[in-house]
Amino acid sequence: MDSSYQPKNDRYSESPLIGNHRGTQYNTHHSTRGHSHRIFQRRDNLFAAGDYFEGVYILRSGSAKAFITSRNGEEHITKFYYPGDMLGLDGFDVNMHTQSVRFLETSSVCLIKASQVQNLMGTDQKFREAILQSMSHNLACDSAMMMCLSTCSSEQKVARFLMDLSISFSERGLSAGEFILSMTRTDIANYLGMAIETVSRIFSSFQERHIISVQQRFLSIVDFAALNACVSIDVCAKTAANNSSSKKAILTMN
């Protein structure tokens, strides 16, 4: 790959980004150099499979989904992202993204260009730890999800999904028991490899058993113990509970 390649559509050229990943916390004068992030609307793509790797993105607000597209055009969701998550790590391999990322709601991201990532990995210990922990966390979660998809019942998959969401929001300083599902039930079914009717049936069952309460996309976990009892594999949940990379990512971009 030609290292001198420049994207034809540099979406950030008119909106200068923070020159250092620590932002105002590291050097306050960076915050005065134009806008430090870019806003995207629901259904906008951050990048698509096959796009040139520009760098690592930090999701500052909102949420997004990653997906791959089959030869017949079907989308298969591989991951959901929330504030503090690093996006685009798949591009390191061949300087090209292998999956697409689309926003689920109005969101903002900050780009750390590939050249900056290489420099920071060698000079900044906290950044190096954050990105390595993010990669390690992703690998652990992917392995646990593969096991869950192959061995868990439909109810266990949905329970696991909701528990992981709860832990994810909790470690970001948000409510672990009440949150809005930014993804549709169709997205949830796609991610879990289930039919949407099955997801809806399990949600209804959880409500009837007073485990959760759902009003449109607003979900409340009423009985954590009962929901957790439905989960058979908790490797990723434990990893997430002990993981600090998301918190570090948020701090570096504030």
According to the model, what pLDDT value does residue 232 have? 64
Instruction: For 67, list phi and psi in degrees, rounded to 5.
Output: -155, 155
**248 close to 137: Cβ distance less than 8 angstroms:** no
Do 23-124+245-253 and 153-232 have matching folds? no
Taking only the tens place, the pLDDT of each residue in 78-103 is: 999 999 888 998 888 888 899 999 99
Q: Which amino acid is at 178?
A: E
According to the model, what pLDDT value does residue 248 have? 45
Asked if residue 194 has pLDDT above 60, the reply is yes
| Residue 221 pLDDT class (50, 70, 90 cuts) | very high
From residue 218, give the alpha-carbon distance in Å to each of 181, 189, 215.
6, 17, 5
| Residue 36 pLDDT class (50, 70, 90 cuts) | low
Interatomic CA distance for residues 114 and 109, integer angstroms: 15
| Residue 143 pLDDT class (50, 70, 90 cuts) | confident
**108 close to 61: Cβ distance less than 8 angstroms:** yes
Sign of the torsion angle spanned by Cα atoms 68, 130, 241, 136: positive
Domain ranges in the chain are: 23-124+245-253, 153-232
Check whether domain 153-232 has CATH 3.30.300.20, yes or no: no
Taking only the tens place, the pLDDT of each residue in 54-83 is: 888 999 999 999 999 988 889 999 999 999
Sign of the torsion angle spanned by Cα atoms 91, 97, 98, 100: positive
**Candidate CATH numbers 2.130.10.10, 2.40.100.10, 3.40.50.1820, 2.60.120.10; the one for domain 23-124+245-253:** 2.60.120.10
What single string gives the DSSP state of each residue in 121-155? HHH-HHHHHHHHHHHHHHHHHHHHHHHHHHHS-HH
Mean local confidence (pLDDT), 138-163: 84
